[in-house]
Amino acid sequence: MAFVNEIISNKILWISLLAWFIAQFMKVIITIVWGKRLDLTRFVGSGGMPSSHSALVVSMATSIGYSEGFNSPLFALSVAVALVVMYDAAGVRRAAGKQAAVLNEIVAELQAHRGITEEKLKELLGHTPIEVIAGAILGIIVSTLFL
């Protein structure tokens, strides 16, 4: 059971999760301010401003840098993981969201003319580069403030 205590006392893990939580909470607030509606699904949903994936991995990398040294192999590994996650969020997942939007239009046409009852695909999957950068900045700020 020592591993449970180690997990509970892992400050880098909790700071990274805090960065994720703050980013997700900000999505709800931004939807209230810009969208003029309360949408609590934004708290658990993907996509949107800021990228919670970016906030989490950049907070982790920054915290590891402060803790282990910015020239450590562990910091280098965490930066590489962060870059892959951010590239995926702004590239692959964003492209999948655009494809879902096109497919939804096709299905809507088919539903109107042929009565097809397919479920609408989720379109908000990835992030714009600005959303990824905002998440990264949030991750740096959170780890700097709380480590």
Residue 116 lies in a domain: no
Residue 98 lies in a domain: no
**Which domain does 51 fall in, by range?**
2-91+126-146
Helix spans in 91-128 (H) = 92-114
Peptide bond into 129 cis (omega under 30): no
Query: For the whole model, what pTM was predicted?
Result: 0.77
Q: CA–CA separation, 128 vs 110, rounded Å?
A: 30
Residue 44 lies in a domain: yes
**Full pLDDT tens readout for the chain, 147 residues:** 888 999 999 999 999 999 999 999 999 998 889 888 887 777 777 778 899 999 999 999 999 999 999 999 999 999 999 999 998 887 665 566 566 666 667 666 666 666 666 665 454 556 788 999 999 999 999 999 998
> Per the structure, how many domains does the chain have?
1
Residue 107 lies in a domain: no
Residue 71 lies in a domain: yes
Residue 21 lies in a domain: yes
Distances in Å between the Cα of 44 and the Cα atoms of 63, 66, 95, 132 are 24, 29, 20, 17
Residue 63 lies in a domain: yes
